Each structure stands twice: as structure tokens, then as C-alpha cells.
Amino acid sequence: MLAMFRNGEWVGAASGRTFPVLNPATGDEIGTVPDGGAADATAAIDAADAAFAAWSATTPYQRADILLSAWRLMTERAEDLALLMTTEQGKPLRASRFEVGYGADFIRWYAEEARRLTGEWLPSGRPDQRFLTVRQAVGVVAMVTPWNYPMSMLTRKMAPALAAGCTLVLKPAEATPLSARAIFEVFTDAGVPPGVINLVTARDPVPIGEVFTSDARVAKLTFTGSTAVGRLLASKAGASLQRVSVELGGHAPFIVYPDADPLNAAKGAAALKFLNAGQACISPNRLYVHRSAAEPFIDTLTKRVGGLVAGNGMDDGVGVGPLVDEGAVAKVAAQVDDARTKGASVPVGGHRLTENGLDRGFFYAPTVLTEVTPDMTVYREETFGPVAPVVVYDDVDEVIELANDTHYGLAAYVYTDSMKTALGAFEALRFGIIGINDVNPTSASVPFGGMKDSGIGREGGHEGLDEYLEVKTAGISLR
């Protein structure tokens, strides 16, 4: 299957090589895609650069109309897109349907935001002078997207870039190129002109990243993925003075205060922690529960987790799908084994799943760890898997300090019945996104991003459009 898109055409790799795409639930091959390299990335940038002048000169209304058409097409194709996502990425079909809707929301939001691209008249100290500012597209944008949300992470980047008048080259995750192809089909069928959007698929991302960060025609790099890779790309992009936005890892605290309803908090934690098999950057990784609420919280959490069904996302009743690959299973198993060795209890889960054909895929049992301590790896490192570590605390005054004790700063969660406590935690927590009695604090209309090692910049909201715009100032003499 041709899944590389350049200058309005589906093409193969310059080398002629391909690589397989696997279903993580079964291990079956579901397709092959071009295995691109540096030459393919350069050719895609050629196309994007050539298309920039004409695309950036279109009116915001014209770009908005195309984006609205893309939103309608994505909505019409929602079921087919969800089926493809579950087959390729593994998440339960219900979750895939939700993601398709979430991804479409970004297209609609930025179609509307495109019409609100404004500048300002600014005052001067001179009576015969005026200042005017306008916001214009930065230029060609290089994009690298992850496998865990293989459609919404594309639209969250592509929609604001297109609304701003940018052209782009996107490299999707090696595990989910077919989902990327389907999204590109939505945009091209909606009328995006040739050369404006370009797709490069590759098994090895390194040569693509080298081109993205060294080609002087690339004005901006945007990446979602691991902190290690994000640091590397940002450092290389810095040498070219490219604008950079990176959304990286997380190690989210989930704080249950003594005045909160522990049963409600446990239900929220279970729903969020095992979403996408724990493979989400905003997934809670440290569940801080006050000792007075620990017993009912752990009991409820354990029962909830014990009732989760892991399996092929196409099957009815499945709530937890597979991990992305063998390496992900090994990482989760290593963290659980380390915690056990250091004294943690495992009231539910704690092992790889192999029964009923699950040995063909990459499944790990939904797991709860209790008696978790700071010397355990799971306390310090992002798991990216279906493991909920519970930490019991005693001092309310110290829990914020415990929560902030990480180099990550993406998301945090607070459960409390006190507005004073909630606002105090919101202001004190060093994280970009705070859920207060809420496990879904995201929307196309609000900024998404983190502090510290969790990234630079924001996606979503008004801020997401600003990432793709330059401000230009005119000083006008009235003499």
C-alpha cells in the first residue's frame, strides 16, 4: 500500500523499500507501507516549500471552508476510521470512536479560529505615527506524531497549521502509518491543494529527523513523544533557530484529600489510569491517597481494576487493549517486579496475559500496586502501561511537595470537596493541566501542554494557533 503522500500524490519510497504494519492484539500483518529515508523527507519539504506562497496567500475564510469540509468528512467516516484505529493501534473500539470525534473537534475548532486571525492598531508617542501588527504563517512545518493517539494527534497539529496558512511535512509513528494515511485522505478529499500537506513514512525515524532539523526551509518543528527524543530534536532544531513546540512525557500525580469521597476518586482513577492501557502522557502514575481514605479507595480501585477485561479491542466488553510492542510489555513487567522486590503489594494483576490467545499480542494485566515507596522505579519513571501505584500519605501540607517532586510537569489531578483546597492545589502544582474532581480536563478549545521536561508550547485553544504564526509590525508615518 502506498502511504507516502507528496505534492498531491501517493508515492513509494525512493529506495523502493517497505515495512510491515502489525496488529498489536494478534501480531498479524495488516499492511505494508513505504520505508522512507532522507531523500523522501527532502522531496516532501521541496513540495511544501513550493506550495507555501500560494497557500499562505489564501484568505482565512477559504482555509476555514476547507477545514470545515474536512471536519464533515471525518465525521462521516468516523466508524471506518475507528475500526482502522483499533486494528492498527489496539485500543477498544469504543475508545477509538471517542478519539475520532475528539480529533474531528480540532478541525472544527481551528476552522472557526481561522476566521479570527486578527492584528492590532497600537499607539505611538508621536502624533504623526501609527503602528499596525499582523499575524502571518511561519512557513513550512515539520511534524512528528505518536502512535498512542494516531489520529487526534495529527489533527491537533495539522488543523492549526493549515488555519494559519502553513504548509507541512508529517512523519507518523512507525506503528500507526495507516491511521495517518486515512487522516491525509480526509484532508485531501476536503480540497487541500497539492503540496500543502505531505506525509513521509519510515521504519527508522532518525534520517527523517536529521532532515527536519537541518533543512533551512523548515521554519518550525513540532513533536509529540518521549522526553528523550524531544530533547534531542529540540537541541538539533535550535542549531537552525527553528521554532519548536514539543509535547513530551508525564508522570502525573493524583491527589485524594481527606475531605474527598474516596469511592468517587477511586472510580475516577480507574477510568483514567487504564484508558488506552495506560499509554497516555496524562495518565496518573502516582496516586497519593490520605491514610484516612486509603482503605475504601484501595478496595474500590482493586474491585474496579479486577473487573476490567483485557483483550482484542474489536471484542465486546473489552476495556483494556494491548500495549504497543514487546518492549512496552518488558518495561511494565520490570517496573512491577522492581516494586515487588522492594516491598510493594499487588492486590490485582501483576503479570503478562497469555491465555485465550492473548499470547499472540502484547498484553499485560491491569494492575494495582500498594505500599509504594519513593525508592521504587515506578514512583520515579513514567510507566506508560496499565499499572496504578498507590502511595499513602499522612501530611496534607506536604502532599503538594511530593507531587511536584518530579522533572515532569504535564498533568495532575486533585480530588477534594473544598474550593479553597482545590484552588490552592491548582496554583501550587507545577503542571500545565490540572483536573479538579475531573479526569478529562482536555478539549479542542483549551490549551494542552506541560512544564519542565514535559514540553514547550501549547496545542489546542487560541494558543495552539499562535504556535504557527509570526507577528509582523508596521510603523506608519502620517506626514
Active-site entry in 247, 382, 459, 467? 247
What are the φ and ψ backbone dihedral angles of 72, each rounded to 5 degrees? -65, -45
Let me know the angle formed at the C-alpha of 229 by 378 and 181, rounded to the nearest 5 degrees.
105
CA 333/CA 91 separation, integer angstroms: 20
Cell numbers at 283, concatenated = 495518565
For 469-479, b/e burial (b = at least 16 CB within 10 A) is: beeeeeeeeee
- How many beta carbons lie within 10 A of that of residue 65, not counting itself? 17
CA 294/CA 266 separation, integer angstroms: 10
Question: Residue 166 catalytic?
Answer: no
CB 323, CB 426: distance < 8 Å: no
Active-site entry in 113, 166, 174, 281? 281
CA 399/CA 391 separation, integer angstroms: 10
Would you mind telling me the total number of residues written for the chain in this entry? 479
Report the catalytic residues.
247, 281
